[in-house]
Amino acid sequence: MSHWTVNDIPDLRGRVALVTGANRGLGLETTRALATHGAHVIMAVRDLNQGHRAEADIQQTVPDPSIELASLDKVDRNARKEYDRSAAARLWQVSEALTGVTYDALRQHSETR
Ligand SMILES: NC(=O)c1ccc[n+]([C@@H]2O[C@H](COP(=O)([O-])OP(=O)(O)OC[C@H]3O[C@@H](n4cnc5c(N)ncnc54)[C@H](OP(=O)(O)O)[C@@H]3O)[C@@H](O)[C@H]2O)c1
């Protein structure tokens, strides 16, 4: 049985990957492998200066990579907001199923009062 290598990664064009700790070690190499195979890679890092160096490293070794640098703190904040939004939406789905009152109906009711 042959061993799997990064060369076995399929075409990832159209896919988006978020790699945390992308400035060094496994995160940097994961970014390189994914970008080599066409994924758009968001490189989330704690230190943007180190991130810029890692970004330059990828640009020098991968032809025409689709990468962007992001602050890990910002990614974390946005992920929490998105989670809160989806949690609120799920809560409304349950509430609607139980009470039959939709969010829109409730909002219209409160606007007409
Ligand atoms: N390398 C291997 O062969 C191997 C094998 C098996 C398991 N692992 C495990 O895989 C993980 C990564 O290994 P690695 O060799 O890539 O390590 P590494 O070169 O030390 O890289 C660690 C990455 O994680 C980030 N990081 C560290 N602490 C963090 C925290 N508290 N919050 C957010 N980001 C943090 C670092 O950011 P900064 O640069 O900002 O510090 C860096 O980007 C480790 O847990 C390691 O034990 C590694």
Candidates 74, 55, 76; CA nearest to 66 is 55
Kind plus residue range of the DSSP H or E element containing 30: helix 25-36
Domain borders along the chain are: 6-111
For residues 59-81, give the mean pLDDT.
95
What is the pTM assigned to this prediction?
0.81
Instruction: Tell me which residue has its CA closest to atom 35 in ligand 1.
Output: 21
Alpha-carbon distance 24 to 52, whole Å?
11
Question: What pLDDT shows up at residue 62?
Answer: 98
For ligand 1, the distance from its centroid to the CA atom of residue 26, given in whole angstroms, is 7
Please, which pLDDT band fits residue 1 given cuts at 50, 70 and 90? low
Residue 37 Cα distances to 34, 42, 48, 71, 76, angstroms: 5, 14, 24, 24, 26
Which atom of ligand 1 has the smallest separation from the CA of 46? 40
Count the Cβ atoms, other than its own, within 10 Å of residue 84: 10
Q: CATH classification of 6-111 is 3.40.50.2300, yes or no? A: no
Q: How far apart are the first and last CA of the chain?
A: 71
Quote the crossing angle between the two packed helices 25-36 and 48-61, to the nearest 10°.
40
